[in-house]
Structure 1
Amino acid sequence: MKVANGVEVIELKIDAMGNEIVLHPTLVFDNEISILIDTGIPGQLHEIKGAMAKADVSFQSLIGIILTHQDIDHIGSAPQLLEEFNKPMLVYAHKEDQPYIEGDVPLIKTDISRMSKQELDALPNEVRYLYNNPPSVKVNKLLKDNQVLPYCGGIEVIYTPGHSPGHVSLYLKKTKTLVAGDAMVKMNGRLWGPVKQTTLDMKAATQSLEKLLDYDIETVICYHGGVFKGNPRPYILEILSEIV
């Protein structure tokens, strides 16, 4: 789905325990290079390559992956992407999520050692296998708050912790587009705050949204929910007003 010149949202469908969920990685590109923000779940390399071809973006133009945070559905197909390449690839993430992404410590939300036997028994076999064998990649470029990556008109890093310790959102300066990761979701045509059930620190995650008020945003891309066109400010203010 084309969002603006040089910004494409990839729609990746997954079956989550009988329910279809659509994930929305973002492809940012120009005439020379491309950057992929998040990578779906493991095994979706074919879909990613197909979406890039449909957008008329060469797979070989990909120079880097930005991971907004450590969750399985964001790290996902990054290992397969790196294996597919015949040249070095930049992998960006925040230092707070780096050890989880690299597999040095278990992913916080899917650490089976923290689950009860009842919780484990309730997991489908394929999900249990994934939790036992989560994807991991080496992070070779660390992201910092307010850092601007010099690609495609500038990609500014906004540190938005709470959903995970190292969650980041990204502001695409050229198109005034916010890639929100899981900092917000789109549902029923509007924006909502982070999902409580999957957010480690709900208060911190909500407070992080205050940073977004400093940006001139015309489009928001939510990993869950897709593209929101318009000014997000009224929704962000509403979400912030509900902090207890």
Structure 2
Amino acid sequence: MVNQIALSDADLAPVKKSADGTSVIATDLAYRTMSIVNVVFYGDPTRPGPWVLIDTGLSTSSDRIKACASLRFGDNPPAAIVMTHAHFDHAGSVESLAAFWDVPVFAHPLEAPYLRGQASYPPADPLAGGGAMTLLSPFYPRSPVDVRPRLKALPADQTVPGMRDWKWLHTPGHSPGHVSLWRESDRALIAGDAIITTGQESAYEAIAQTPEMHGPPRYFTPDWEEAEKSVALLASLEPELIVSGHGAPVKGQNMRDQLHHLAASFRDIAVPTGGRYDLDPAKPAKSGNDTFR
């Protein structure tokens, strides 16, 4: 089974390194890689107005995120923190940052149990293949964080607080309440982990960040049926730019072609045959897993 689709340097979106430590993709869109995961900053630092933090990295990322934000936006706190999902590498600093800035945290209602201390994610899948990251996955944190009372549900009309012209899309599979963010005007997609643009299954892949088109990280995806539907949805948008939770931003026609290839051959490319959740997905409240407890 081929578990990735190669991209080239020509598919990488042009970025400009900023003095605040971020990589700037557009006037109002920048990201910073914190160890193995990307944290996204939305907002134009040259104009007064709200800015938004999308995801919060590992538990060790808090000080670096605050330093970047201070350099980029001054003393202006974010209007909100928006969570694509609450896995440990995306929600590791959400408690400390939300308290420091005293700002709301927005997430899909199905992700709320993992953000208010009520539920642990299903066990990782060490049979998903690929290398050390997968083999070590049973030791990664699954316990919830707790950002009550700052936690709020994303608006039902799919608008994104503090992010004019963006809408959120429910893209489950990697987690029940996973969301991606979409701006139609320039076809920009913040995909979280619904799609990633580098391999995460081996330590070498995670460090090298070779551009590739992948489904969600295999060892932490408990519902491949939903993940396949989510990738098909994102491919149907025909994005011009993808900023994912892992890997460099990618752009252009070849990227779209490879995204369609991933969607069309998802089970052959993305799903770990014989893995824990290959034929037996873990769903919320399903008997035999501790997604909700």
Q: TM-score range by the shorter chain?
A: 0.7 to 0.9
Counterpart in 2 of 1:51?
68
1:235 aligns with 2:252: no
Q: Which residue of 1 aligns with 2:247?
A: 225
**In 1, distance between residues paired with 2:174 and 2:75?**
30
In structure 2, what is the equivalent of residue 113 of structure 1?
none
1:114 maps to which residue?
none
Alignment RMSD: 2.6
Note if contact 1:146-1:158 (Cα within 8 Å) is conserved in structure 2.
no
Quote how far apart the aligned CAs of 1:134 are: 4.9
**CA separation of 1:93 and 1:150: change in aligned 2, threshold 3 A:** closer
Mapping 1:11-22, distance limit 5 Å: 11-13=33-35, 22=36
Partner of 1:81: 97
Aligned counterpart, 1:190: 212
- Distance verdict in 2 for CA 1:239–1:146, change over 3 Å: farther
1:198 deviates by 1.5
Shift of 1:239: 1.2
Asked whether the 8 Å contact 1:8–1:28 carries over to 2, the reply is yes
Give 1:101 shift. 1.4
TM-score w.r.t. length of structure 2? 0.67
User: Does the residue aligned with 1:70 lie in a helix, a strand or coil?
Assistant: coil
1:65-80 aligned within 5 A: 65-80=81-96
Change (3 A) 1:144 1:212: farther
Are 2:115 and 2:151, in contact at CA under 8 Å, matched by a contact in 1? no
Letter in 1 for 2:52: I
Q: Superposition pairs for residues 22-41 of structure 1, below 5 Å?
A: 22-30=36-44, 31-41=48-58
The structure-2 alpha-carbon separation of the partners of 1:123 and 1:190, relative to structure 1 and needing over 3 Å to count, comes to closer
Task: Report how far residue 209 of structure 1 moved.
Answer: 1.4
Q: For residues 69-218 of structure 1, what are the structure 2 equivalents within 5 Å?
A: 69-85=85-101, 88-109=102-123, 131=141, 134-138=144-148, 140-143=151-154, 147-149=158-160, 151-187=162-198, 188-218=210-240
Is the 8 Å Cα contact of residues 54 and 83 (structure 2) preserved in structure 1? yes
**TM superposition shift of 1:44:** 1.6
User: Does structure 1 retain, via aligned residues, the 8 Å contact 2:228–2:266?
Assistant: yes
What letter corresponds to residue 91 of structure 2 in structure 1? Answer: I
1:196·1:202 contact (CA, 8 Å) conserved in 2?
no
Pick the structure with more strand per residue.
1
The residue that corresponds to 1:42 in the other structure is 59
Matched residues, number: 219
Deviation of residue 173 (structure 1)? 4.1
What is the alpha-carbon distance in structure 1 between the residues aligned to residue 142 and residue 228 of structure 2? 30
Amino acid at match of 2:233: K
Report if aligned partners of 2:168, 2:182 keep a CA contact under 8 Å in 1. yes
Structure 1 residue 184: deviation in Å?
Answer: 0.9
List runs of 5+ in structure 2 lacking aligned partners. Answer: 1-22, 125-134, 199-209, 268-293
Distance apart, 1:192 and its partner CA = 1.7
Q: Provide, for residues 10-42 of structure 1, a one-character-per-residue CA deviation record: whole Å limited to 9, x for no partner.
A: 2212xxxxxxxx210111013311111100011
